Amino acid sequence: MKILKIYIYGYGKLVDQEWNLEDEMFSLFYGENESGKSTLMALLFAVFFGFPSKKENQYIPRNSNNYGGSILIRDLDQREIFIERTSGKYQKGIVHIQFPDGSTGSEHELNQLLKGLDSNTFKGIFHFGLDGLQGINELDPQHLNQYLYDASMTGASELAKLEKQLELEKNRLFKKRGVKPEINALTQELSELEKKIIKWEERLDQYECLQQSIQVKEAALLEQKEEKKRIQEQLRWLDKRITLNPIISEWHAYRQEGKDEENLGFPVDGVRRLEGLNEKIQEADVRLSVEKDRLAELTDKKEISSKELCNDKSIREMKDLEKHHMFYSNLLEDAKSLSVLKEELYCYQRAIEEEWPTIDKQTFEKAQYDPYMLEQYDDMKEKWSRLRTTEDRLIDEEKKKKQELNITEQQWQMESDSLLSDEMLERYKKLENNEDQNFQEKEKELKSEQLKWIKEECKRKEAIGKRNKKLFTTGAILTMLAAIATTINGEYILSVFFFVATIPLVFGLRKPLIDRSLLEQVAHLENEIEIIQEQERTTSINNSLTIDVSRQLNEHHENLRKVNDLGTKMLFIKKQLEDWTQNWMDLQDEWRNLERDIKEWSEAAKLPEGNDILFYGKFLNSLKIWNQKAREIADIRKKEQGILNQISKFEERVMEIAKTFSLSEKASMPSLYREILVILENQQQWKETSLREEEKLVSLNDVISELEKEKHLYVAKVDSLLYQAHVDTEEAFREKGMKAELYNINKSKEKELWVQIVTIVPDESKRVLLIEDIIHRDRDDNEEQKVLSEDVTRIDQETNQLHADLSYQINELKYLEEDGTYEEQKQKYTMIKQKLNDYAKEWVVLETGAMMIEKVKDIYEKERQPKVLKKAQDFFSRLTSEEYTYLFAPIGEKRFVVERNDGQRFEPTQLSRGTCEMLYLSIRLGLALEDSSREQFPLFLDETFVNMDKQRRINVWSLLEEISIERQIFYFSCHEHILNEINDYKAPGFLQAFN
Amino acid sequence: MVRFIHSADLHLGRSLKASSNMTDPFIYMASQATYHSFEKLVTVAISKKVDFFLVSGDIYDEEQRSIKGQWFFRKQALRLQKESIPLYIIHGNHDPLVYKDNLISMPENVHIFSSKVSSMFLKTEAKEEVYIYGFSYPQVAYMENPVPLYQKERNNEAYHIGMLHGQESGQLGHDPYAPFTVSSLLEKEFDYWALGHVHKREVLTDNPPVVYPGNVQGCHRKESGPKGAYLVEITKKETSLSFIETAPIAWMEIRVSINGLLTVDELIDEVGERIQALEDTRAYILSLVIDGKGKLHKLLGNSEKRKELFELLIEEYSTNDMSIEKLLIQTKSIIDKERWRNQEHLIGDIIRTNEALTADNSEVKERLATLYDHRHIRNYLEHLSDKEQQKLAEEAENILLTTLIGEEEAL
């Protein structure tokens, strides 16, 4: 490919510029710095590979809206193709290709033209910058080989950079023997964590063992508790044994001693008992003699006193008299009081008799006073009262009826008069409404008459009331007196009767004198009269007024009806009067019958005759009291007689006794009685003394007998004691007693000790064992106690240890169950492992990438490098004026070796820097020219050789001149000496200057 | 009606497989997450007054070491016992009967099925009769089909509930223990099949319900989303399944595309917006996946830049409730490999080299053995599958190409 023309529409500072390179193959673009060389170079790149990105210098023209440019190229097929790149939708711009046959194309066609060449490869192969050579100078020998080697490869620098980067990242992640790289570090961390987890798991594995261990320890604890309990039991046993040892030993000794003397056969407390009995026998003898003396003395005394005593009958009589004397005195008092009472009753009788002067005492005595007679009297009295009431009622009735008849007649007459005459009636009927004033007057008169009558009636009623009141008062007083008298006499039934009779009489007193209805009638009539008078006044005032005829007529009819009613009423009253006359006659008959009955009754009762019923009532009351008193007097007389009889009986007995004791019969009854009492007293004293002596005698005899019995008993006891002790004499008894006493002392001590033993060991079986243990075994208790105490201490220590272990293990168990550390660590472990695997994969990517790079390099070395190296060797030989004739890469080694014309071989590091530069240039040119697959792109050299020495540069120019025959070369420089050299050399380069 | 909790795969004490970009409180929370999830489930069981509580295997993660697990399980069982709620348990491949499960004695309300299929009878408070069937793994690997051993009791009035810890033939990604088919379960005419073993929640059939409740706490990136158990209410006519989320931590993948994004700041903001949109009812372990095509691809291809971005994201968004566990760059290179493949130069060489290495990876494996066979490190590294290796190789190729070719030229 050859670039024939370059057009710049606008790119950086270059606007609308054109270069025609059609006739030249080596073009030198000379100009000062900032003159546009780089811009031109950039444009060429841009046309082929697109405008640069925003991050890079985009060369957007300031002075033009046109952006981009075009080139005209001639390809290997000698086609002249126009390629234009302008701004467009994409950052890289739009490419437009115009083929000579008129067809056009875009990116795709451009890519085909470039045969897939990318910008990096293009730069790596066809662009020779100053950096490449300078790089050699800056490199250390170690990397020089690699650098030169990479220079022989397409895209080598990017690949190398990438390879380095991958290497770095790989190293960051993993080194085979590293510690710090991520994977190594994580592995270390994981390993440590794993150890921790394993430890944890070991701990967890111990769980079951722990459980078992805890169970074992708990069982051991229980066992130790039992063991301790057992030893403590033994210790307590030992304590008891130590305590009881002296006691039981002593007890045992006494017991053994006691066994030999068990058959001694001496009575308990024998000697003392014998002494006591002997003392008692002596005492009994002394008392016996004393009592016998006293008996003799008393017998004498008794004989003397028995002579003084009289017989028992007299004394009994005197005692009886004394007993009845109080009764006698009472009888005397009673007789006296009865006499007084009798006299009082006589006085009372006499007073009653004096109330009735007309009647003698015999009448009182003869008169019969019995219930039958009283009943008859009551019947008659009742009848009398009834007749009297009837009579009063009939008299009143007669008067009332007559008066009523009279008034009714008057009313009838008045009403008849007030009737209108036939003539008037006729006239009124005509006139109607005419009133007769006279009627009012008549009515008034009639009413006044009626009022007058009623007032009279009131007066009469008042008179009757007053009389009745007097009668009731008298009756009430009498009945009340009768009631009191009967009460005093004790005749309570009668008194109740009288009281009951008083009550209606009292009520009669309270009755008003005038009937209330009469008073009301008076008030009513007075009121009517007043109304009539008022009417009269009204009538007189209105006399002049027209008479109400119709009212008069109505009144007439009303009056007529009243006249008729009054007539009927009159007839009825007359009939009633006739009935009254008959009743009156009947009453008179009954009066006569009653009088006859009273007479007959008084004769039968032997009462004074011819008196009225009220007389008899009063007399009967007096008679009743009189008779009562008479009965009382008779009773008193009877009682008085009984008392007098008893008094005389008592006095007779006194006299009899007095006679027995020869007392004076003339003496008064009280003095006699007093003397008898003195005698009785003396006899009683004697009697008592005699009795006492008798008793004493008996008791003395008893005492003596008892004492004798007692003495015999004591003697018998002494004998019994001797018998019990199997001895005959008291002396032998005493001797044997001494021995027995000693035995008893031992026995009581043994008992005392036994009580102590039983108190300390109440359980019998244990006690037996303990006694057996103490008596029969011989061992050191203190030593045993010490051993047991040590055992307890040991068990305590072991128990404490067990508790501590158990507590630790239980806590551990709980920790294993509840603690979340294990899970947390496992979680961390899983996470780190995951991260490790992620890093590993990352490393795999890097490693695979690195491997790919190596592979690609291998391919290059095997397939392409040989051709490149052949070219490079030619160039290197020419550039070094054939000093170095041979260049090769040993198989499998990533390095070059050069051979000098003397056959000596050198590593690039052994060459001078200048030679190295030549080597680099040769390799680059070899690579660029060997790339036969490409479209023989022009070479772009940018100040590439500016630092090279002149000789070498001349060699280069010579080489380039040769190359430029077939390959277009662009050289960019700002250095004048380069310009001069090229001009001097007269190279066929064409100067393209920038202004 | 019978009401119960169907849970499985508690894996008490299991660690969460996250990388170490967590705060200390988050690490603690993660280490306790399985416990908390189960505790919450028990609380729900009590509040809902269930008739019983089922655990279909894998209560503990590492039976021999699960002392805390057993202790904790006992504590929860005691809570249920107070409310008279019985627990029915089968052991699975992670906690088979062969291990010591009697280190800590369980209360009386815990009924553990033996290694032979058997049934247990229960009468609920509402006088409903229930037969629960099940068996525990006698050893870790139980490969036989246990379904024929389930024999339904002759009581049609009662409810029949089967517990089984095993692998349904259609399920992938788990060890094929106690394999069975859904149709074989349906033949048993049970009212409910309470399954366990598969950690992903799934209802295999509705009538009768054959259910995997999933595990109670997601333990790695693949066990994402809400986790818990089912509250089941069952009558002879219908069954209601309510999922109860109890896991305190959810694994979550957030994908952010670089399409149209020009700067790293924009990318960080975009990630932030997605994080803000998450519900705050639980804690999260996030995997950030950056995909799409765009300007940021080259930048993200740079491992330094990638690392820097990851650190920035952690600094910006990591809290005690939020952990960014992984940053996966899946942005597409816009390099047209076909265009470059046959070119006689470096890029073509790289593409061809990668293809050759993929075709025969023995050489690569040999190289990687430096790390993967390192005597101190190998025990901590997970096996690298060919597929993974290939993926990583592509990543390496991508880095090389992106570095060597400018994006601009590549178009």
Domain residue spans of chain B: 2-245, 249-332, 335-411
Confidence class for position A826, pLDDT limits 50, 70, 90: confident
Show Cβ contacts of residue A772 under 8 Å, excluding neighbours closer than 6 positions. Answer: none
Confidence of residue A308 (pLDDT cuts 50, 70, 90): low
CA distance A903 to A885: 9
Q: What is the pLDDT of residue A690?
A: 82
As given in the structure block, the two tokens for residue A21 are 């390179």
- Residue-level pLDDT at B411: 34
Position A747 scores a pLDDT of 84
Asked if B372 and A840 come within 8 Å (Cβ–Cβ), the reply is yes
Whether the predicted pLDDT of B409 surpasses 50: no
- Which of B31, B74, B305, B363 is the best mutation test for A, with the most CBs of A within 10 A? B31
User: What average pLDDT does this structure show over A514-531?
Assistant: 74
A914-933 residues touching B, CB cutoff 8 A: 933
Who has greater pLDDT, B93 or B250? B250
In whole angstroms, give the CA distance from residue A500 to residue A673.
60
pLDDT at A149: 64
How far apart are the two ends of chain A, measured CA to CA in Å?
Answer: 28
pLDDT tens digits for range A777-788: 777 888 888 898
**Which residues numbered 72-101 in B keep a CB inside 8 Å of some CB on A?**
100
In this prediction, residue A948 has a pLDDT band, given cuts at 50, 70 and 90, of confident
Task: Report residue B8's pLDDT band, with 50, 70 and 90 as the boundaries.
Answer: very high
Assess whether pLDDT exceeds 50 at residue B408. Answer: no
What pLDDT was estimated at residue A965? 84
Residues of B in contact with A153 (CB under 8 A): 346
Reported as a pLDDT band with limits 50, 70 and 90, residue A773 is confident
B263–A contact, CB cutoff 8 A? no
pLDDT tens digits, residue range B65-75? 577 888 899 99
Give the C-alpha separation, B112 to B88, whole Å: 6
Residue A372: CB atoms within 10 A of its CB come to 10
Give the one of B19, B354, B357 whose C-beta lies nearest to A835's C-beta: B19
Interchain contact, A845 vs B403, CB within 8 Å: no
CB-nearest to A827 from B31, B384, B392 is: B31
Nearest to B31 among A824, A843, A933 (CB): A824
Point out the residue among A201, A836, A860 whose CB comes nearest to the CB of B381. A836
* Among the partner residues A53, A154, A846, nearest to B408 by beta-carbon distance: A53
Inter-chain CB proximity B392 and A844 less than 8 Å: yes
Arithmetic mean of pLDDT, A803-827: 83
Smallest CA–CA separation between A14 and chain B, in Å?
24
- Tell me what the mean pLDDT of segment A813-835 comes to: 83
Distance CA A394, CA A368 (A): 37
pLDDT digit string (tens) for A920-934?
A: 888 888 878 876 555
Mean pLDDT across A790-815: 89
Separation between Cα atoms, residue A311 and residue A332, nearest integer Å = 32
Q: Convert the pLDDT of each residue in B191-246 to its tens digit.
A: 999 999 999 999 999 989 999 999 999 999 889 989 999 999 999 889 999 999 99
pLDDT confidence of residue B395: 85
Q: Where are the beta strands (DSSP E) in B68-127?
A: 87-90, 110-112, 118-123
DSSP characters for A261-286?
A: TTT--PPTTHHHHHHHHHHHHHHHHH
Which residue in the set B349, B367, B380 is minimally distant from A187, CB to CB?
B380
Highest mean pLDDT among A950-959, B4-13, B329-338 belongs to B4-13
Chain B nearest-CA distance from A243, in A, is 54
Residue A89, pLDDT > 60, answer yes
Q: Which CATH architecture has domain B2-245?
A: 4-Layer Sandwich (3.60)
Strand partners, B239: B234
What number is the average pLDDT over the span B161-165? 95
CB-based contact B15 A830, cutoff 8 Å = yes
* pLDDT value at residue A114: 80
Rounded-to-integer distance, Cα A73 and Cα A22, Å: 9
Q: Examine the pLDDT at B83 and tell me if it is beyond 90.
A: yes
Sequence-distant (6+) residues with CB within 8 A of B279 are none
The CA distance from A119 to A102, in Å, is 28
Q: Extract the tokens encoding A980.
A: 């001069």
Task: Answer whether A852 sits within 8 Å of B354, measured CB to CB.
Answer: yes
Tell me the CA distances in angstroms from A300 to A294, A592, A682, A695, A752, one per residue in order.
Answer: 10, 107, 21, 14, 63
What is the arithmetic mean of pLDDT over A71-77? 89
CA–CA dist B256, B267 (Å, integer): 8
DSSP alpha helix (H) spans, A490-612: 492-510, 516-541, 549-604
> Does residue A247 carry a pLDDT above 60?
yes
Structure tokens at A645: 């009889």
Average pLDDT value for residue range B153-181 = 86
C-alpha A521/C-alpha B383 separation (Å) is: 150
Q: What is the mean pLDDT of chain A?
A: 83
B253: pLDDT confidence band, cut at 50, 70 and 90?
Answer: very high
Instruction: Choose among B13, B303, B357: nearest Cβ to A823.
Output: B13
3-class DSSP assignment, residue A483? helix
Partner B, chain A 81-140, Cβ-Cβ below 8 Å: 90-92, 107, 111, 115-116, 118-121
CB contact under 8 A, A204 and B67: yes
State whether A115 and B65 contact (CB < 8 Å). Answer: no
Inter-residue contact A985 to A957 (CB < 8 Å): yes
Is residue A437 scored above 60 in pLDDT? Answer: no
Distance (Å) from the alpha carbon of B311 to chain A's nearest alpha carbon: 14
Query: Over the stretch A730-744, which tens digit does the pLDDT of each residue have?
Result: 888 888 888 778 887
**Which residues are CB-neighbours of A13 under 8 A, at least 6 positions away?**
A34, A36, A39, A61, A62
* Residue B314 sits at the chain A interface (C-beta within 8 Å): no
Question: Using a CB-CB distance cutoff of 8 angstroms, which residues of chain B are in contact with residue A855?
Answer: 349, 353, 356-357
B328 touches chain A (CB under 8 A): no
Task: Write the CA distances from A905 to A501, A507, A915, A919, integer angstroms.
Answer: 193, 189, 14, 14
pLDDT of residue A757: 87
- ipTM higher than threshold 0.95: no
Class of domain B249-332: alpha beta
Q: Does the beta carbon of B394 lie under 8 angstroms from any beta carbon of chain A?
A: no
| A825 pLDDT higher than 50 | yes
- Put simply, whether A844 touches B (Cβ < 8 Å) is yes
Tell me what pLDDT residue B243 has: 96
Rg for chain A (alpha carbons), in Å? 93
Contact A367, A606 (CB under 8 A): yes
For the ranges A119-128, A225-234, A756-765, B97-106, the one whose mean pLDDT is highest: A225-234
Is a pLDDT exceeding 50 seen at residue A434? no
